[in-house]
């Protein structure tokens, strides 16, 4: 990794003019393939050149210059030293955020409007939001105005300024530049004003409207020192967390569950369960509640490190293996450390599990970190059950009819569930339970749901059933642009756990995510698959 960084440092080239250093700087961030380079080229009007190109590796960062109504700014594309085809790893997200927060006056994060939010998007957004600099979310690949409404789906990242754009087709770029330039410090010298009188008027108008129309104001302005301290603390925590992660890697693959065939359905003898969530939501307490009252067998798996210990509970002829219980109880020394660790642990536990219990603290609701961990659970292909814990605190009432701990009236489960679902949209398939781990309430329900979703994720639908279903689906109801629609000739379930369907189609195109969601929902309505994500693969008849 050091070698790669070194190489990148050597490759730094300057496309900007020599006297550009005084200009305000705008940073572009985002994971690979969202369109950062395309936007960079669009804004600077020049192709970004890659010097000393190594196969699969783009440069560390690249600078250019842009102009809007006579005002100038520098632009940096932070998109990094990553092999093009790899997912954005945490340290790379962190590096981008760091460059942006340290150097830039204003930051544009780019997401791919045609794909669903991925965990790296959320992680990057979280880091950027903490920095206190003007932020803009460019939702890219919105190639026609009829698609602009879809940008609203990305508001959940927490940005106030969301602009749909098409970097490739020059859509929405003016709107983005208007907003970005309005957030930048005024030009420093008198000459700038003299050279461009009309343009200055435009900026003044922008300035006037700033307060009234709610243009950007710093949410919690941090001093430079504070930003640096935070970044340093993050860096330390990252390093420690990475160390823990490496230390804890199992050295042998964990055994796969045995499957028995009966009546055409896979019956599982054992379900591996991961308890995941951010610090203090009650994971350890829940583990105690789930394993404590029953006979718990502590059994280190051969070939794993001393730390990784599973606990197995037998219940109603089914066995539940809680993976890495030492890890569930593990706490970080500082708050930041504990938070980082909780994400790393969640990812590690998901790898070893079939089903995950995503624990939420009822008194705090869904936070950004919860959403982040939930994102990893969704992408992992494991089944998910959302467990709202500490519900006792939401319902205990005092003499005045108010909740004992915060003086508010007792919470309503229906309203509460809707809030959780709004915040965790991508987990719409996950059952949700209200429990109190401390009081041992909801233990039975949790076991029942785990067994249910573990059965559901292994269900298999025959191709005959599938095609009968396909005939009945009204594809006109899918809210997808006509040119994005594909004709499905037939469809077959290729795998279980998670259920994975192969679609044989007329066109070799990536399925639009709203189409994918529509189809998944239709499948769920007919066949269930409760708690499990549904995956699709496309096989086109006519390769383009």
* Binds ligand GDP by CB under 6 A, chosen from 96, 140, 161, 196: 140
Q: Does 280 bind ligand GDP (CB under 6 A)?
A: yes
Per the structure block, which two tokens stand in for 347?
A: 């990812």
What's the CA gap between 227 and 103, in Å, rounded?
11
* Binds ligand GDP by CB under 6 A, chosen from 16, 37, 325, 517: 37
Q: How far is CA 475 from the centre of its chain?
A: 29
Provide the minimum distance between the beta carbon of 519 and ligand GDP in the complex, in angstroms, as a whole number. 22
* Binds ligand GDP by CB under 6 A, chosen from 24, 32, 164, 431: 32
Adjacent-strand bridge partners of 386: 358, 432
Q: Does 285 bind ligand GDP (CB under 6 A)?
A: yes
Chain positions 49 to 78 lying near ligand GDP, rule: CB under 6 A, are: none
Candidates 119-127, 241-249, 277-285, 302-310; binding stretch for ligand GDP (CB under 6 A):
277-285
Name the residue with tokens 């950062």.
36
Q: From the DSSP assignment, how many helices (H) and strands (E) are in the chain?
A: 17, 18
Q: Does 35 bind ligand GDP (CB under 6 A)?
A: yes
* CB-nearer residue toward ligand GDP: 91 or 284: 284
Per the structure block, which two tokens stand in for 80?
A: 């990094």
Candidates 193-201, 235-243, 432-440, 471-479; binding stretch for ligand GDP (CB under 6 A):
432-440
Provide the minimum distance between the beta carbon of 277 and ligand GDP in the complex, in angstroms, as a whole number. 6
What's the CA gap between 343 and 369, in Å, rounded?
8
Q: Is the CB of residue 296 less than 8 Å from the CB of residue 325? A: no
Q: Does 80 bind ligand GDP (CB under 6 A)?
A: no
214 is in an annotated binding site: no
Provide the minimum distance between the beta carbon of 108 and ligand GDP in the complex, in angstroms, as a whole number. 12
* CB-nearer residue toward ligand GDP: 350 or 523: 350
Name the residue with tokens 């029953």.
294
- The Cβ of residue 361 has, within 10 Å, a number of other Cβ atoms equal to 19
Candidates 164-172, 204-212, 372-380, 484-492; binding stretch for ligand GDP (CB under 6 A):
164-172
Rounded alpha-carbon distances, angstroms, from residue 202 to 193, 368, 372: 12, 37, 40
- Helices of type H across 90-218: 90-103, 119-130, 173-183, 190-195, 197-212
- Exposed (0-12), middle (13-18) or buried (19+): which is 382, by Cβ within 10 Å? buried
Provide the minimum distance between the beta carbon of 442 and ligand GDP in the complex, in angstroms, as a whole number. 9
Q: How many residues interact with ligand GDP (rule CB under 6 A)? A: 31
Q: Does 168 bind ligand GDP (CB under 6 A)?
A: yes
* CB-nearer residue toward ligand GDP: 19 or 85: 85
What's the CA gap between 105 and 97, in Å, rounded?
13
Q: Does 36 bind ligand GDP (CB under 6 A)?
A: yes
389 is in an annotated binding site: yes
What's the CA gap between 309 and 301, in Å, rounded?
7
Q: Any idea of the CA torsion for 436, 438, 441, 443, to the nearest 10 degrees? A: 100
Per the structure block, which two tokens stand in for 128?
A: 């950027």
What DSSP string runs through 440-468? TBTHHHHHHHHHHHHHHTT----HHHHHH
Per the structure block, which two tokens stand in for 163?
A: 């602009």
31 is in an annotated binding site: yes
Q: Does 203 bind ligand GDP (CB under 6 A)?
A: no
79 is in an annotated binding site: yes
* Binds ligand GDP by CB under 6 A, chosen from 78, 106, 166, 254: 166
Candidates 280-288, 417-425, 462-470, 495-503; binding stretch for ligand GDP (CB under 6 A):
280-288
Q: Does 115 bind ligand GDP (CB under 6 A)?
A: no
- The Cβ of residue 41 has, within 10 Å, a number of other Cβ atoms equal to 17
* Binds ligand GDP by CB under 6 A, chosen from 16, 123, 370, 392: 392
Rounded alpha-carbon distances, angstroms, from residue 160 to 129, 157, 179, 202: 10, 9, 12, 23
Q: Does 167 bind ligand GDP (CB under 6 A)?
A: yes
Q: Does 33 bind ligand GDP (CB under 6 A)?
A: yes
Q: Does 436 bind ligand GDP (CB under 6 A)?
A: yes
* CB-nearer residue toward ligand GDP: 161 or 166: 166
* Binds ligand GDP by CB under 6 A, chosen from 133, 272, 390, 403: 390
Backbone angles phi, psi at 238, to 5 degrees: -60, -45
What DSSP string runs through 128-141? HHHTTS-EEEEEE-
Q: Does 156 bind ligand GDP (CB under 6 A)?
A: no
What's the CA gap between 515 and 503, in Å, rounded?
13
Binding residues: 30-37, 77-81, 140-143, 277-284, 324-328, 389-392
Chain contacts with ligand GDP (rule: CB under 6 A)? 30, 32-38, 79, 140-141, 143, 166-169, 277, 279-285, 389-390, 392-393, 436-438
Annotated binding site for GTP: 30-37, 77-81, 140-143, 277-284, 324-328, 389-392
């Amino acid at each position: 990794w050091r070698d790669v960084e070194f190489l990148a440092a050597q490759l730094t080239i300057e496309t900007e003019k020599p006297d550009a250093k005084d200009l305000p700087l705008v940073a572009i961030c985002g994971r690979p393939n969202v369109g950062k380079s395309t936007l960079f080229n669009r804004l600077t009007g020049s192709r970004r050149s890659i010097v000393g190109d190594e196969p699969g590796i783009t440069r560390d960062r690249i600078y250019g210059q842009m102009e809007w109504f006579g005002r100038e700014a520098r632009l940096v594309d932070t998109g990094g030293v990553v092999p093009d085809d790899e997912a954005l790893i945490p340290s790379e997200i962190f590096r981008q955020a760091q460059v942006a927060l340290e150097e830039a006056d204003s930051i544009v994060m780019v997401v791919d409007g045609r794909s669903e939010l991925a965990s790296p998007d959320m992680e990057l957004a979280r880091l950027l939001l903490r920095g206190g600099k003007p932020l803009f979310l460019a939702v890219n690949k919105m190639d026609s105005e009829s698609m602009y409404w879809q940008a609203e789906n990305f508001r959940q990242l927490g940005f106030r300024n969301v602009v749909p754009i098409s970097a490739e087709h020059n859509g929405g770029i003016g709107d983005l530049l208007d907003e970005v330039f309005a957030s930048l410090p005024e030009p420093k010298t008198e000459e700038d004003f003299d050279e461009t009188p009309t343009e200055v008027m435009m900026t003044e108008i922008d300035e006037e409207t700033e307060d009234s129309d709610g243009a950007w104001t710093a949410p919690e302005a941090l001093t430079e020192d504070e930003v640096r301290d935070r970044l340093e603390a993050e860096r330390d925590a990252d390093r420690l967390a990475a160390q823990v992660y490496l230390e804890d890697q199992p050295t042998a693959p964990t055994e796969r569950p045995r499957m028995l065939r009966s009546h055409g359905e896979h019956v599982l003898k054992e379900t591996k369960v991961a308890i995941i969530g951010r610090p203090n939501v009650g994971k350890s307490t829940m583990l105690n509640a789930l394993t404590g009252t029953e006979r718990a067998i502590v059994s280190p798996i051969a070939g794993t490190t001393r730390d990784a210990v599973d606990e197995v509970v037998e219940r109603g002829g089914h066995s539940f293996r809680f993976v890495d219980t030492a890890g569930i109880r593990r706490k970080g020394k500082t708050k930041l450390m504990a938070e980082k660790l909780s994400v790393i642990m969640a990812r590690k536990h998901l790898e070893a599990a079939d089903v995950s219990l995503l624990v939420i603290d009822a008194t705090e609701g869904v936070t950004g970190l919860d959403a982040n961990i939930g994102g990893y659970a969704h992408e992992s292909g494991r089944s998910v059950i959302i467990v709202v814990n500490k519900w006792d605190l939401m319902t205990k009432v005092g003499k005045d009819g108010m909740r004992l701990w915060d003086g508010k009236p007792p919470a309503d489960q229906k309203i509460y569930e809707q809030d959780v679902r709004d915040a965790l949209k991508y987990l719409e398939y996950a059952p949700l339970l209200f429990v109190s781990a401390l009081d041992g309430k909801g233990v039975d329900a949790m076991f029942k749901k785990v067994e249910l979703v573990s059965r559901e994720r292994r269900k298999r639908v025959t191709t005959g059933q599938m095609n009968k279903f396909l005939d009945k689906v009204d594809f006109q109801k899918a809210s997808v642009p006509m040119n994005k629609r594909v004709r499905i000739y037939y469809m077959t379930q290729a795998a279980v756990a998670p259920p994975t369907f192969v679609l044989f189609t007329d066109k070799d195109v990536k399925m639009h995510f709203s189409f994918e969601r529509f189809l998944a929902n239709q499948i769920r309505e007919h066949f269930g698959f409760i708690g499990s994500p549904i995956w699709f693969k496309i096989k086109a008849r006519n390769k383009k």
